[in-house]
Amino acid sequence: MPLPQKAGCWTEWFDGDDPSGMGDQETLHNLREENLGKICPDPQGIEVMTTSGISMVAAGEMIAFADSTTGFICKNEDQPDKECFDYRVRFSYRSATDPVISWTEWFDRDNPSATGDWENTINLKKDYPGVICEIPLYVEAVTIDTMTPAMATGQNILIFNPTDGFVCRNADQQNQQCFDYKIDPKI
Ligand SMILES: [Ca+2]
Ligand SMILES: [Ca+2]
């Protein structure tokens, strides 16, 4: 079975199941539900290793699925010893040089309750590892309730660019209160 080795950005490793019962099932469907927002809608590749760090090929087991549509399934019944290893998986995405990419996901990681609404790239990358993997080429920001573009709200926005993301500080506003914004970085 070929291992997709697509260059680009990888999610973190996921180990959502262990091989008790039917086997080790790291399906995209289950991993998405357990890791909200951490796996993009359309991954291009999957990499599989045992939790002890052996590649899937080196492990040499009969694997039912290992693709970026289904995810990974190893069935205990397919193995001579009736037991799969415990595997972990990660997914890859197109690189920034791929022209067909388009994010449609909005990110809202912060609320303006403390010092402001911090939707900046550094924190977004921390909260959504692998999802925002390249420097976006442009970014949109709107209020979460009425979808009003940031520039139309009349608020003083401290940072609003594709590299750094978006920051609205409460202290910069006449009423000391930013709206709650969400941003959509596109690469
Ligand atoms: Ca596992
Ligand atoms: Ca926000």
DSSP 19-77: SSTTEEEEEHHHHHHHSTTSS-SS--EEEEEETTS-BHHHHT---SEEETTTEEEEEGG
pTM: 0.53
> Which ligand gives the minimal distance to the CA of 89?
1
Cα(19) to centroid of ligand 2, in Å? 39
- Least confident piece of the model among 63-67, 100-104, 140-144: 100-104
Q: How many CA atoms lie within 13 A of 81 on its CB side?
A: 6
Among 163, 174, 176, 162, CA closest to 117: 176
More confident residue, 69 or 7: 69
According to DSSP, the residues that pair with 75 across neighbouring strands are 23
Regarding beta strands 65-67 and 116-120, do their DSSP bridges make them parallel or antiparallel, or are they unpaired?
Answer: unpaired
More confident residue, 66 or 133: 66
Give the number of residues written for the chain.
187
- Least confident piece of the model among 3-17, 115-129, 146-160: 3-17
- State the chain's mean pLDDT as an integer: 85
Confidence of residue 99 (pLDDT cuts 50, 70, 90): very low
Cα(22) to centroid of ligand 1, in Å? 12
Cα(181) to centroid of ligand 2, in Å? 4
Percent of the chain scoring above 90 in pLDDT: 59
More confident residue, 177 or 10: 177
